[in-house]
Structure 1
Amino acid sequence: MEARALREVCGRYPTGVAVITCLGSEDEEPVGVTVNSFTSVSLDPALVLFCVHRESRALAAVRASGAFAVNILASDQAGLCRAFARRDTAGFSGLPHEPARTGSPVFGDALAFLDCELHSMFPGGDHVIIIGEVVDLGLLREGQPLTFFRSAHPRLEVLA
């Protein structure tokens, strides 16, 4: 299977966009990574998952901290999405954020957040599947979600 063909076909499936954040090591600032592989797994217990490349800094940080937050982005946060999508991701200085119950950063201007403790991890090819148990959550503001479709961020049409 060619990676390019797989990416092209999967790019036809629209997703939401989130930034996964967690504490860095003692002498480092927090770590964040943009994902569109986020989904709920179970309501009881409350479990969610995301996938991250096995060489990602975020993977090492989640392992070390044992926790992460899912920041669900709004349609006006494409810049934030891109900033945390690069291998050399953005820093947190100048970004409005507060620690969640686990200490993981939550962006104050995200649509919503889920604060999670690490539940389990599974190999998934060149990625790792990370499952977290939700220990806190919240709606932060109203607005449209940031979407991802064919390498772009189209706006959703809202039906009244």
Structure 2
Amino acid sequence: MERLIGPDAFRDVLGRFASGITVVAALDDGEPVGFACQSFASLSLDPPLVMLAAGRTSVSWPRIERAGRFCVNILAAEQQEVCRSLGRSGADKFAAVPWRVSEHGTVRIDGALAAVECELRAVHEAGDHFLATAEVVALDAREDGSPLLYFRSRYAAGAF
């Protein structure tokens, strides 16, 4: 099938949809593993389900999938450095990121605007990504703060 839409145009137009930034994180063999993720959304109220997309080339995703439980940490406006740390590949991404293990055995990022702890339910192939659905097992949120947003390939802080 011939492609009618190139990746540059796709990225440019869809980059106009502001999205929140999350860190999807888990424990694997006692070590924190995670990645920055824009592709996250609520899916169902009954049962409480969420969905996220992980790139096929992600080194972190197979470890999170193996763990079966993870936390989606919704980043606050002041957490750009956390996003940068968890958005890169390679070395210990958590070295400068304050985190703790939750009572459900997931990785919570200190200072996050909200935390959504999940159990993985299904993973589907979706182009150059995997689409994962998960059931929410615990929730927590700060009473204050604004979200870290991504718009047109740049960080933006929402003032709410």
Alpha-carbon distance in structure 2 between the residues aligned to 1:18 and 1:56:
15
1:7 maps to a residue whose letter is R
SS in 2 for 1:7: helix
Quick one: which of 5, 18, 22 aligns to 1:18?
22
List per-residue Cα deviations over 1:115-142 (Å, max 9, x = no partner).
0000111111010001110001101351
Q: Say if 1:152 and 1:121 are closer, same or farther in 2 by CA, change over 3 A.
A: same
**Deviation, structure 1 residue 89:** 6.2
1:69 and 2:71 aligned: yes
SS at match of 1:61: helix
Residue 110 (structure 2) pairs with residue 108 (structure 1): yes
TM-score by length of 1: 0.90
Decide whether the 8 Å contact of 1:18 with 1:73 is kept in 2: yes
Task: Extract unaligned runs of 5+ from structure 1.
Answer: none
Give per-residue Cα distances to partners, 1:16-67, cap 9 Å, x unaligned.
010000112x2x6211100111100001100001101112122211221111
- Distance of aligned partners of 1:121 and 1:81 in 2 relative to their CA distance in 1, 3 Å threshold: same
The total of aligned residue pairs comes to: 156
The structure with the largest strand share of the pair is: 2
Q: Distance in 2 between matches of 1:88 and 1:13?
A: 29
Structure 2 length as normaliser, TM-score? Answer: 0.90
Give the 4+ runs in structure 1 shifted more than 6 A: none
Residues 30-39 or 95-104, more deviating: 95-104
Q: State whether structure 2 residue 44 is matched by structure 1 residue 42.
A: yes
Of stretches 35-44 and 136-145 in structure 1, the one that deviates more from structure 2 is: 136-145
Matched, 1:137 2:106: no
Q: 1:83 to 1:94 in 2, by over 3 A?
A: closer
Give the equivalent residue in structure 2 for 1:121. Answer: 123
Output the amino acid matched with 1:13. Answer: F
User: Distance between the aligned counterparts of 2:159 and 2:32, measured in 1?
Assistant: 35
